[in-house]
Structure 1
C-alpha cells in the first residue's frame, strides 16, 4: 500500500506561495532528502509555507523517518520541548538563534534528485504531531502511514475528490487540516494544490480564477470571505467548499451561500483521530452539522454513565471514536494513552455532541469548556452561541460557565458588538431556546482571544 502513489493526473502540480513544482519533481527532490535522513529517529521540520517544507515532509515519509512539524511561531520553551520529547536528531528549515548547535541541519537542494526508495511498512509512524497542550505540555501523537491512507481515501469518497481537482488552501502546515488534508490529500488523490501562503480572501479569489475547484478554510477564513463580496462571488466556480477546525457560525454559512452559490460543508476531527466525521458533497448542507462517520470509522455519544444518548439531534453527551484513522498513542506516555481510551477500546475525544436518527452529528464543544452544568441541566455552549450570533449587532460570541453557589455554573456570554442591550439579549435567547439555557450575564469585550487556527481560547476568559 503506497501512501503517496506516483500515479495521478500527469499535469498535477503543487504551487506554494507562487512557487510551482510537478509531482515528479517533488518526489525526485524528496528522494534525495530521504537519502540524507535515512536511519534518523525523527526529523524536525520548521513548517513554514514554502516548497522546502513540502520537500522535507515528503522526504521523511519516503525515508520512513517520522516527521515532526514545528510551528514557525513557537517560542524557545515550546520548541525545546518538541525537540526533546520527539527525539528529533536533525532539523529542516531556517535555524532559530536558540536552536541547539548539536542538532544538525539538513540542506535541501532542489537540483539534487534521486529515485524514491521502497515503500515503508504501512504500520510505521509517519508523523509525530503535537496536541495543543491545554492540560499540560503538548503530547506527541503517533500517526501511522496506514491511518493517513485510510483517512484520505475515506474523505476522497465522501467528497468525490478526484485527480482533476485543484485544492486551494492557505492553512498552517503543522496541523491536520493544512498538512494531512491540505498537502498529503492532493498527493494521494493525484490532484493539484495551490497553497496561498495566507488564507486571504483576494488570494482565494485569484486561485479560483486560476482553476481552483476545492477550497479549505477555518471559520475565520470563511467569515472574512463573507465580508468580501467580490472574493466570495469569485468562488462560485468552485465544486466544493469545506470548513473545519471549529464550528462554522450559521450566519457565515448563509452569507457565503448567498454570495458563492453554496455554503461550506463541515467536518470534525482532532490530532489523535484525524478527520472522523464529514458531511458528504451530495447531501443537504446543514450549518452546524459535521455529517456522518467516514468509511472505516465508528462514533458513539454517551452520557455520564457511559450509556448511549437518544439519537434525537438534541440530547448531548460525550463523543467517542474508534476506527482506522486513530493514532497509535502518545509518544512515551503509556498512562496518558491508556486514560484516553475506554475499557472497551473507544477513544475519548473530550468533545460534546448530539446525533440524529440519520447518524448526522452536531458538535457542541469541548467537555471541559463547552458543557455547562447549570441548575441541574446539561447545556451546550455552542447552541447558545449559534443563537446569539443571529442577534443584530453581535459580531462574535463565546459562552462559558462560571462557578455559581446556587446554580453550580452560571451561563455567561462574552460578546463583541455595538449597541447590545444586556437584558434584551438575555430575554431574546430565552425566547429562542429553553429558558434555562439563557445567559445570566452578558459581558461586552473588544475582542475574543484566539489561537493560530482561529479557535477561541475560552480559558482566557475566566
Structure 2
C-alpha cells in the first residue's frame, strides 16, 4: 500500500495520531486523513486526471491523498505559476477538473471542492503498482515544461530507499516549508510521511525562526530544506543553534555551498545530509545517516541504484574523484516517460534502462559522487581543458567577500569558452580572479568577474544559468 500509514484497519486498531499533519494552522489526525481523503476519492474516482493547485494547505494534502487512494493521477500545479505556463500544463496534461482550491482563472475547467470535515469509510482496492500516481511538470528551463509521469511503484521504492539511508521511521517528526509541487516537498516530505507514518509539519514559508520553533516546541527531528533555506538559517545564528536537538538535516534541489555546510556543522552540531536526484529519477544518491558526509559531495547510490560516468563517445571513464563525465543512472525509481513526448523520452531514457541525467559528475574510488552541474551550462570547455563550474564556485564562496557565486562558460573566439563568474558580495573582481588562480589551476581563473546585486533563481533556489548567459 503506497500510503501505508492511512491503512483504515491500522487506524481503527489504534495506530492513530491526533496531529499526523500540521499545515496552514490545521491539524489532522490519521483518522481525519483516512476519512476526509477517502471522501475526496469518492468524488474523483473514475477521472482520468485532475489538477491540484498546490498551495501548502490541508485542502491540498487531502486532494493529493484522495487521488492516490482512488488511483487517479494528480497534476500538481505550482500555486504561483504564470497564466501561460498554467494553461500549458492544463492543456498538455488533459486535466479534467480542479480538485480543491482553484485559481481566479480556471481556464474553463470544472471544480471539485475538498471538504475538510467530510468523511467516508469506503474501502478502495490498492491500484496497480505500475499505475501513474503523479504527473509533475519540469521547470521548463529548456523549453515548455514537460509532464513527468511517475508511477506508484517508483514513489514507494524511493521512500523506502531513503528510509533505509536516513534511518527514517514513524518516530520522526518531519519539518519543512517547501512547495508541494516538486519532488522534494511533495514526494519526499508529504508522501514520505504518509507512507512511513511519521508526524509531518509544514512551516508555511521556510523561515529560520519557523524551523527553530518546530524543533524546540514541536519536537522536529528530520528537517528538509534547499540551500537558500540553510543559508538563511546559518546567517540567523540563533536559529541554527536551535536545530541542535534535531536528528538529521537534509539538503537538496541545488548544490549546498561548502561555507553553508560548514556553518551548519559549527552552529547546530549537525553535518547536513546531501542527496541528488531529479523529477525524472526521484532521489538516487545520498550521504547516509550513519556514514560519511563530505561537503560538496552528494553521496552513494541508494539500494538498487546503479550509476556510470561516460565520455562524449559513450565509453565509461575512471572513478578517480577527478575525471568529469556524463552521469547515467539505472534505478527502480525512474519515471515512465514524458507525457505526450515520446521523442523527448527517447532522448534521455535508453532502451537498456539507463537514464541520461544531463548532469556531469565525478565519482571517487569509494563510490562517492560529486555533481559538477548540468552538462549544458556547468561543463566549461576552455582552451582544451574541461572545467567544472562548481569547483570554481566553491572556491569563490570560500572568500570572505563573497556571499553568492555562479560560474558559466561564455562563447569565446580564442578559447572556445571563457570562464565568467557572477558574484554577490563586496570583493574586487581582480582580487577574486587571482584568488581562484591561487587555489586552483591557472586555467580555471575566471576571465571575467561581475559583481551583481543578486542571482536569478527559480522557486527551488536553483540559479538560472541560461539567464546568466544572456547577461554576458
Q: Could you state the TM-score of these two structures normalised by the residue count of structure 1?
A: 0.97
1:114 aligned to 117, 120, 124, which one?
120
2:147 aligned to 123, 140, 143, which one?
140
SS at match of 1:184: helix
In structure 2, the partner of 1:373 is: 381
Matched, 1:197 2:204: yes
SS at match of 1:354: strand
SS at match of 1:461: helix
* C-alpha contact 1:3 1:145 (8 A) present in aligned 2: no
In structure 2, the partner of 1:175 is: 182
* C-alpha contact 1:248 1:288 (8 A) present in aligned 2: yes
- Between 1:384-393 and 1:86-95, the stretch displaced more is 86-95
In structure 2, the partner of 1:248 is: 256
Q: Could you tell me how far 1:341 is from its partner in structure 2?
A: 2.2
* Partners of 2:352 and 2:444 in 1: CA distance: 34
* C-alpha contact 1:46 1:72 (8 A) present in aligned 2: yes
* Partners of 2:24 and 2:219 in 1: CA distance: 16
Deviations 1:443-462 (A, max 9, x none): 11111111111111111112
Q: Extract unaligned runs of 5+ from structure 2.
A: none
In structure 1, the partner of 2:84 is: 77
- Between 1:6-15 and 1:156-165, the stretch displaced more is 6-15
Q: Could you tell me how far 1:105 is from its partner in structure 2?
A: 0.7
Q: Could you state the TM-score of these two structures normalised by the residue count of structure 2?
A: 0.95
In structure 2, the partner of 1:105 is: 111
In structure 2, the partner of 1:438 is: 445
Deviations 1:158-206 (A, max 9, x none): 0000110000000000000000001011111111101001110000011
* Partners of 2:441 and 2:107 in 1: CA distance: 57
* C-alpha contact 1:214 1:241 (8 A) present in aligned 2: yes
Q: Indicate how the Cα distance of structure 1 residues 287 and 39 shifts in structure 2: closer, same or farther if over 3 A, else same.
A: same
* C-alpha contact 1:214 1:239 (8 A) present in aligned 2: yes
* Partners of 2:199 and 2:321 in 1: CA distance: 37
* C-alpha contact 1:18 1:196 (8 A) present in aligned 2: no
Q: Could you tell me how far 1:423 is from its partner in structure 2?
A: 2.2
Cα RMSD (Å) of the superposition? Answer: 1.2
* C-alpha contact 1:301 1:317 (8 A) present in aligned 2: yes
Matched, 1:129 2:119: no
Deviations 1:282-304 (A, max 9, x none): 11211111111111211111111
In structure 2, the partner of 1:353 is: 361
* C-alpha contact 2:259 2:397 (8 A) present in aligned 1: yes
Q: Could you tell me how far 1:310 is from its partner in structure 2?
A: 1.2
* Partners of 1:206 and 1:17 in 2: CA distance: 15
2:95 aligned to 69, 88, 91, which one?
88
* Partners of 1:189 and 1:371 in 2: CA distance: 38
Count of paired positions: 460
2:405 aligned to 387, 394, 397, which one?
397
* Partners of 1:298 and 1:129 in 2: CA distance: 24
